[in-house]
Amino acid sequence: MGGIRLCLAGASIGNGNRGVEALGRSVIDVIDAVAPGSRISAFDDGWGVRRDASGRYPSTDLEYVGVRLSRRWHRPESWTQIRVAQALGGLGNPVAGRIARSDAVIDISGGDSFTDMYGPVRLQSIAAPKLAALRAGRPLVLLPQTYGPFSTTDGRALAGRLVRSAALAYARDPRSYQRLLELAGPDADTARLRDGVDVAFALRPRRPDAQVADAVEAATDGEVVAGVNVSGLLRDAAGRERFGLAGDYIATMTGLVRALIDEGARVLLVPHVQVPGGQGESDIAAIDEVVAALPAVQRSRATVVPSELDAAELKWCIARCDWFTGSRMHATIGALSSQVPAFGYAYSDKTRGVFETCGMGEHVGDAREVAGPAAVEAMTASFAARDVSRTRLGETVPGVVDRARGQLADIADEIRRWRDDPAGHGAIA
């Protein structure tokens, strides 16, 4: 089969967002299995080039390569310097050189960041590796992701140009696939536009170290376990205003935890984003607020998973649950892909499309429309229906997991063909 040289963008492994990490590790897991001998340069926001020393990928030469929008344009990690180096033929820049030598640049945009809703600077950052691949004449593969929304003329024009210039583009759910077709335009080669699934369904769980694993097992053994992710992104007034939430998010999640405990459940609180210091958008800060609001007798029925665990270790913990809910979408994907019944308490449209992939679209609530007792009632109804949901997931999820792995294997095969026949890859339109 043979290995391939890849630059992986938009899936930083070590930035504290376990959802983005899950995307990156899922891709590397599959490439390690289907393309032994590959070399992957995974772009992140670190400094310099660092070898992976984890030993988790025995068949892959994995390294982490720092890239960033930076005013320190003289730094090799700066996209400004990378662009200048590309114009001058590389000239020793480690990022430009790796892109030039790659068989393809594969880009996932953090799963849901290929949009202008976070402002022009964020879109510029998301576009940078895509543009660098095109400048170098290397095939650009857009891995399964969400496209849009685009509310500005410039944002939509840039997205359309990047999609049409790619060699291959996947969406991660049917709703995003329709947006992808619109961006590509009527003259696109539709064989290169594909309806996929979120790659995080392919993530392989990993047991944490013995101290953590034993503690989680001891807390959940013999219990009905309800897993709850509380998002730090939504915990304060700024988050409520930014996303147009219907009510007090922390009060809603506190009410949910209390209701689940009243139903006899042991609650496992799972953080999925960790910011240094545990504040800001860290989930652990939001979880701490919920725990602090519980009466002492209920607090003893709640267990908090350590925020330092990585995405694969958190998936192992989530798989211990009988039911799960959360506002971080990839935390709920950790549940769905483990056939754990789940409810997505969402703040954007992206979650519903992913749940529909598993036949679970009715188990999504929109935090912009419902909060407080009404939201708690919807989530506890989902908890009560967990046996029915588990049966359905047993029918739908194996196929979704196979698709998640199969689409990455197909991409590896395509890249091998392009490597052996450089004229074989062209633009979508």
pLDDT in tens, 234-246: 999 998 998 999 9
- State the Cα–Cα distance between residues 419 and 125, nearest whole angstrom: 28
High-pLDDT (> 90) share of the chain, %: 87
Per the document, the length of the chain is 429
pLDDT band at 91 (very low <50, low <70, confident <90, very high): confident
User: When comparing pLDDT for 318 and 425, which is higher?
Assistant: 318
Cβ neighbour number for residue 206 with a 10 Å cutoff: 15
Evaluate whether 289 touches 252 at the Cβ level (below 8 Å). no
Using left for φ > 0, alpha for ψ between -120 and 50, and beta otherwise, residue 145 falls in beta
Q: What is the DSSP string of 16-51?
A: SBHHHHHHHHHHHHHHHHHSTTEEEEEEESSSSEEE
**CATH numbers and ranges of domains, the chain:** 5-203+401-424 (3.40.50.2000), 210-394 (3.40.50.2000)
Beta strand residue intervals within 26-158, DSSP E: 38-44, 49-51, 60-66, 104-107, 140-145
Each residue's pLDDT tens digit, 276-331: 766 778 999 999 999 999 999 999 999 999 999 999 999 999 999 999 999 999 99
C-alpha dihedral sign at 366, 118, 108, 282: negative
Asked if residue 74 has pLDDT above 80, the reply is no
- State the Cα–Cα distance between residues 98 and 88, nearest whole angstrom: 15
pLDDT of res. 1: 57
pLDDT of res. 25: 96
Please give the model's pTM, rounded to 2 decimal places: 0.92
Q: How many CA atoms lie within 13 A of 187 on its CB side?
A: 6
